[in-house]
Structure 1
Amino acid sequence: PEGKPWVEVLPPDAGLPVAEHDLRDRPDAEAALLDLCHEEARTPFDVARGPLIRGRLIGMSDEQHVFLLTQHHIVSDGWSMGVLVRELSQLYRAFEAGQDDPLPPLAIQYPDYAAWQRRWLSGERLQSQAQYWRDTLSDAPARLALPTDRPRPAQQSYAGAAVPIVIDADLTRGLKRLSRQHGTTLFMTVLAAWAAVLSRLSGQDDLVIGVPSANRGRGEIEELIGFFVNTLALRLDLSGEPSVSELLERTRRTALAAQEHQDLPFEQVVEIVQPPRHLDHTPLFQVMLAWQNNAVGSLDLPGLSVEAAGEGYDQVKFDLELSLCERGEEIAGTFGYATALFDQATIERQRGYLLALLRAMAADAGQPVGRIDILPAAERTYLLEDLNRTAAAYPSQRC
């Protein structure tokens, strides 16, 4: 308080609270499990008092259990899940064999990182980062005007759903070749394509897409569980009818510049830019592209067969959330969307547009992006012919 250091020492027994539920003799065990999952997902945390992690162990039979582990995002991020799964596997293996804790003591902890970040991001460095975002985003469009299936609610709804997306091995190889030829990463190439699709749908040649950054550039923090991830607002320029190669170059420059200035927390970027604020949409951007390049892995527990349970998320933070990762020879992921705005069929069409654009980009980098045909034949016929059939039989008139 009042600028003075304040330390709160947690009680020594503040560990992981685990609630146990026995559904073994319940005829409605599956329905009860679903209810418990929904209850767990919707139970808020007390941020002031904690704890910010909790578990539930649910017995379905003598041989089958479901374990739910819930963490507040303030103490964990996507990268942290990979660390947690690896460490949990190591701990279980050691304890099952009667061995001591196999994990080395942490060289640094999250408070050390927070103190370092505050010292490091100050003075001239802070001014430089703030100025970059002020210059880049100050006159950016506040909203991406995508056509929606329903009017936007007065207050943003977070209800969501997702459709799967797969970029097959053949197209992935083509995109890798295209990326090598133009000095881009796969992420940059897909970002350019999606920006082109969003530009076509919205009629805007100036748009902003949010991109999460792992923000773990220092080796000391790679194995820490905590909230390090930051969000970068990438402003894409599609003006002047760029060719595929020109759009890739613009996207590369934009992404690299943003990464060079990725240390300023997104909340501070919003405060600096001061975009118009409305309850019906998020500030700066409403569409996100997440590229997951740190696989979570799977639990390797001796004597147990472990598989992921659950039905995925039914919430989104943005209007559209494209989440992708390399999976073997393919690129795969999900296309999340706000169900208050879009129908599933609309998102499936958008997925088709993106795949068509990626195929065309891989085939010819010299063509103008704006002239690439992304409509499938059936949809083109429907739009150009079926909707334009205005011929009508007029009743004969008697004079």
Structure 2
Amino acid sequence: MSADLVARLAALTPEQRALIRQRIPQVPRKQPQLTPGQRRLWEAHRWVGDRPVDVVCQVVRLTGAPVGLDLLAERVLGFVQAHEALRTTFESDGEGTGDGVRPVVRPRLPPRVVRTRCAGADEAHALARELAAEPFDLANGPLLRVALAEGTAAGGGPAEDGADGAWLLVVVHNLVFDAWSFELLLDELARTADTGPVAAPPFSGFAHEQRRLLESAAGRAAAAYWKAEVAGAPPPLPTDRPRGSGTGRSGARVEFTLPRAVADGIAAAAQREAATAYTGWLAVAWAALAEYGGRDDVLLGTFTAGRDRPGTTDVVGYLLNVLPVRLRDAGDGSHAARTRAARTATRAGLAHAAHPGELIAEERRVPGTHPLLDAVFVFDNLGEGGREIQGARAVTEDLDKGTARYDLTLAVYPGPDGARGWLEYDTELYEAPTARRIAERFTALAEKAAEGGHG
């Protein structure tokens, strides 16, 4: 702006300035809005009485080299400042519905970072569960809690030369974070001193692009596809106790492991059907749940990262999308036939995978924290290659928090030694023997399917 123009503006009377403002077109500033995924999480939070259920809770063990916890803390603080999602809180009008909630991005919102010591895995896991069980103040934050713990020697003092390593415990509400975001955090912590941090695209940009997509022709086509896909959907799977309105989503897990021969066999069988290992395992899950429910028509939830569009790879926030997969044409009932049908169903949905699962119209309503889905399938190989942080090997350890996000969650994690997994169940709906029976049938069917994969 030129000095002459500045002088002329300064000489204007208040009335003249007001007249100019009236003549300048005012562009209304859009208020931030919840994404459909965030709205579901908010409503689920209210459903369970504000109990922390939709929470990322990760335990990272650091071994093999001394770790500077001060540097870790500094990197965490910088990561939060760089990513607006982690500086976001949620103001409510008091009605308790997602429509009355507004995201507020704060200039600064430091996470809670605590320093402590842990004698071993049991103590670290107990501390992580404690952090995850503490209620979140969504209106004021912070929504990220981090504990940095030194390992301790037998006598209770600090371990020498990092022999017992260190622990990084991360607890974040899903409203601002997902599993991919956790990997981005680990990338930042693993960054060497001679490299700078990666760009931090704002979550609000993703939210804006998602709304724009929904209003487009592609968005309308996706809505029509998913509406047809779930039309006439089967009822939810049977439970030991009736579904009601008061479940607090208390949960437990039945864990299992399968040898490498089984994992390799399922992958080989899937490859013969031009399918992925994920599809092969999905076919096994379908068989187990169809047997349990007494019908081959099964509606399962599956997860997509929600990062297939340009510019979303480095976004921190809740981009995860939970979509239904309709599995119903089992053919002759063989594993090969189920794999082919699962491949067809998943590939058809890929073209519309950006459509928020929460917006899919459906005829059935499931009481609980998700309006459409009672059971979901998880197949996760994120971060299986491992990392080094300050020269220490970083291994993420899974944690049972004692909660259940869905009625049933069947998870499979492949690895170099085979596959491990668990069946998580809502203890207010299912008895432990029922959950064990489902998990045992899943492993038995996986072993049977793998026999055909080695040949």
Structure-1 separation of matches of 2:234 and 2:392: 52
Equivalenced residues, count: 345
Q: Which residue does the alignment assign to 1:390?
A: none
Q: How does 1:30-69 map to 2 (within 5 A)?
A: 37-57=128-148, 63=158, 67-69=168-170
2:216 corresponds, among 110, 119, 123, to 123
Q: Which residue does the alignment assign to 1:236?
A: 327
Deviation at 1:274, TM superposition (A): 5.0
Mind listing any 5+ residue stretches in structure 2 that lack a counterpart? 1-27, 33-103, 160-165
Alignment partner of 2:435: what SS? helix
Structure-1 separation of matches of 2:427 and 2:251: 5
Q: Which residue does the alignment assign to 1:384?
A: none
Q: Which residue does the alignment assign to 1:193?
A: 284
Structure-1 separation of matches of 2:413 and 2:397: 20
Q: Which residue does the alignment assign to 2:63?
A: none
Q: How does 1:139-218 map to 2 (within 5 A)?
A: 139-145=232-238, 148=240, 150=241, 152=243, 155-218=246-309
Greater strand percent: which structure?
2
**1:46/1:52 contact within 8 Å kept:** yes
Q: Which residue does the alignment assign to 1:287?
A: 375
Q: Which residue does the alignment assign to 1:388?
A: none
State the TM-score, normalized to the length of structure 2.
0.66
Residue 246 and residue 35 in structure 1: after superposition, are their counterparts in 2 closer, same or farther (change >3 A)? closer
Structure-2 separation of matches of 1:219 and 1:184: 26
CA RMSD of aligned residues (A): 3.3
Residue 32 and residue 285 in structure 1: after superposition, are their counterparts in 2 closer, same or farther (change >3 A)? closer
Structure-2 separation of matches of 1:323 and 1:178: 20
Cα deviations across residues 362-390 of structure 1 (Å, max 9, x unaligned)?
4459xxxxxxxxxxxxxxxxxxxxxxxxx
Higher deviation after alignment, 189-198 or 299-308: 299-308
Q: Which residue does the alignment assign to 1:112?
A: 205
Q: Which residue does the alignment assign to 2:364?
A: 275
Residue 285 and residue 23 in structure 1: after superposition, are their counterparts in 2 closer, same or farther (change >3 A)? closer
Structure-2 separation of matches of 1:67 and 1:359: 36
**1:182/1:249 contact within 8 Å kept:** yes
**2:263/2:414 contact within 8 Å kept:** no
State the TM-score, normalized to the length of structure 1.
0.74
2:448 corresponds, among 350, 360, 363, to 360
**1:167/1:330 contact within 8 Å kept:** yes
Matched, 1:74 2:175: yes
**1:142/1:284 contact within 8 Å kept:** no
Matched, 1:254 2:345: yes
Residue 68 and residue 134 in structure 1: after superposition, are their counterparts in 2 closer, same or farther (change >3 A)? same
Residue 311 and residue 190 in structure 1: after superposition, are their counterparts in 2 closer, same or farther (change >3 A)? closer
Structure-2 separation of matches of 1:218 and 1:245: 32
**1:85/1:296 contact within 8 Å kept:** no
Deviation at 1:324, TM superposition (A): 1.4
Q: Which residue does the alignment assign to 1:322?
A: 410
Q: Which residue does the alignment assign to 2:30?
A: 5
Structure-2 separation of matches of 1:39 and 1:359: 37
Deviation at 1:30, TM superposition (A): 11
Alignment partner of 1:220: what SS? coil
Cα deviations across residues 71-99 of structure 1 (Å, max 9, x unaligned)?
11122111221121121122xx53xxxx7
**1:182/1:248 contact within 8 Å kept:** yes
Instruction: Give the share of equivalent positions with the same residue, in percent.
Output: 24
Q: Which residue does the alignment assign to 1:84?
A: 185
Alignment partner of 1:208: what SS? strand
